[in-house]
Every structure is written in structure tokens, then in C-alpha cells.
Amino acid sequence: MERAKYLLEVESKAIGNIIAATGQALQRAVDMILSHRGKIMVCGIGKSGHIARKIAATFTSIGQPAVFLHPAEAVHGDLGVYSPKDLTILISKSGATDELLRLIPTLRAFNSKIIAIVGNPHSPIADSADVVIDISFAKEADPLGIVPTTSAIVSLAIGDALAAEIMYDRGVSKGDFARYHPAGQLGRNLLLRVGDVMAKVSHCARVSPGSTLREIVVEMTKFPLGAALVIGEEENLLGIITDGDIRRSLQLAIDIDTLNAENVMAKTPQTIFSDASLGDALEMMENRKSQISVLPVLDRADGKGQVVGLLRLHDAYRH
């Protein structure tokens, strides 16, 4: 574990040193990308190739067209993906990767500007690049000092920094991001509203403040959503009773026949509006010491916050 901790410390320190070591080069790379409206080709081989794939994927996820280009396949027909003046990011720890070096003359024929992320600022790839981001300070953290560990992490962090600056300068919003992520939980969180997935109030257990414990259990059995809404005379939310509230009440050394909803309910439950994003609801339910499994939903439009449904954590994650 001490060796593992040492590796993590070395990698974290290397990332911390990025700003001082690569600041000006990063700025030039950002300026080059922001002034370019075409594709970005990201190229590397081996472990650098895996990092290049991730950087390209991050760019496309924020609306910046990018393609991972395998350098060996490039010279066997994949260069057809290039358009004139497309930018290229080359990633190489040694700065002398043969497959990348063979590619550079062809890139120049496409009038491609080259950003090089290299571990040797005096290498052949660096000499051929328009912008050189030097990661030579990132010494590998493995026991042999040769496995791509720190260099891979730093290269990836540089790609993330470039992407973040693109997002900021081009004003990429959550709505823009959602268009590129319509599927999966990420897409659900960004695109769906609470009202899209909640159980409508007509399908929820509803009781009055004076309902007995037996009446509450019968209603919750009829609508098994894990909670009952305590509703006032004006259809306003007075509280909520969960399955846990029922169990805790039964453990008390009191006459349960005298209990009613007003005695058992949580009187100031956490609520959310139906037009809130699903992601905001999940943040509210999960980002706390004790998770909330059910959340009463109110209608902002009526101006009174009338209860319109119940959101379950289970429904928020359902596909």
C-alpha cells in the first residue's frame, strides 16, 4: 500500500505542476483550437493511443468535432478522414514514435497545424510541431520508471484542460451538452424533467392528518410506492410518511391504535418542483448524509406549490 500511495502522490504532484510547466504552450494550443472550426485529429499509438481516443471522445462530447486517428492505419487509407487545414494533436512520450514521424510530412500536405504533447521537447516530433506541450517533467511512477503512468495521466489532464477551455470560450451550456448525450443515465438527467418520471398524485397513497395508522397502511398497500402523502383540505402538502416511519412507529412503546398521520409524518419534507431536471432531483436525493428514497413533487405553475406527484429514486434510474 505504501508503494501504491507513492504512485498516486507522484501522479497528483505531476498534475499540479502542469500549470507552471506548460502554461504558455497550453494557451497557444487553446488559441489555435478556438480559431479553428474544422475537425481535430488526435493521434497516438500504444498507451498514448488510448489517451488520444479519450481526448477525441471528450472533444466530440462538447460539440467540437474530433476523430481518433491510428497512425499506422492512417497511411493505409484512413487519411481520407482529413479535410484541408484540420488540426492534429500528436501524443508521444518519447517524441520519436516512428508511426507518427512517418505521418508528419503527409499532415503538412494537408496544411494541418500540429500540437504535440511529448515527453522530450527536443525530439523530432517536437521539432516538427507548431505548438509543443512538454511533459518531460512527468517522471513515470511505476517501480521500473518506464510504464506509462504519470505521462498518461498528465497527457489526459492536458486534453481535459483544452476541452474545458473550449467549453468556456464557446459558451457550451448544459442544453448543448445534453444534445450529444441523449441516451443513458447522463442523458436522462439532462433531458428529463421530474414531471416526466414521477408517479402522478392520482397514483400515490394519500391520507389526511387524522388518518389512523391502519388506514395509512391500507392506503400504502394499495399504492406501494414506499410513502404516503399527507394532504390538507386545499390539496396542499402537509407532510410525508415513509415505510421507515411506519416501522419506527411500531417499535415505540405506545398504543399504536391512538396514532394518526399527524403523529407519524415528517412535517417539513424535502420537496422538488415538477419542472426541475432529473439530475437536480438526484443531486438532492443522493448528495446528503442519508439518502432520500422518495421526494414529493410540487407544481410551481399554480403559484401555491400544490402537490402533483411523488418521485422515487428507483424511477429516476429506471431505463
Per-residue model confidence as pLDDT tens digits over 227-264: 999 998 877 899 999 988 888 877 775 666 778 888 88
Fold that domain 194-317 belongs to in CATH: CBS-domain (3.10.580)
Residue 296, helix vs strand vs coil: strand
Domain segments of the chain as ranges? 2-172, 194-317
Given this model, what pLDDT does residue 177 score?
76
CB 201, CB 309: distance < 8 Å: yes
Nearest Cα neighbor of 100 from 134, 72, 68, 130 is 72
Helix axes 243-251, 213-222, angle to 10 degrees: 150
pLDDT grade for 52, boundaries at 50, 70 and 90: very high
Q: Across residues 61-79, what is the average pLDDT? A: 90
Same fold, 2-172 and 194-317: no
Helix axes 278-286, 184-191, angle to 10 degrees: 110
Fold that domain 2-172 belongs to in CATH: Rossmann fold (3.40.50)
Contacts of 157 (CB under 8 A, 6+ apart): 15, 18
Helix axes 150-170, 18-34, angle to 10 degrees: 40
DSSP 151-191: HHHHHHHHHHHHHHHHHHHHT--HHHHHHT--SHHHHHHHH
Sign, CA dihedral 142-144-146-147, equals negative
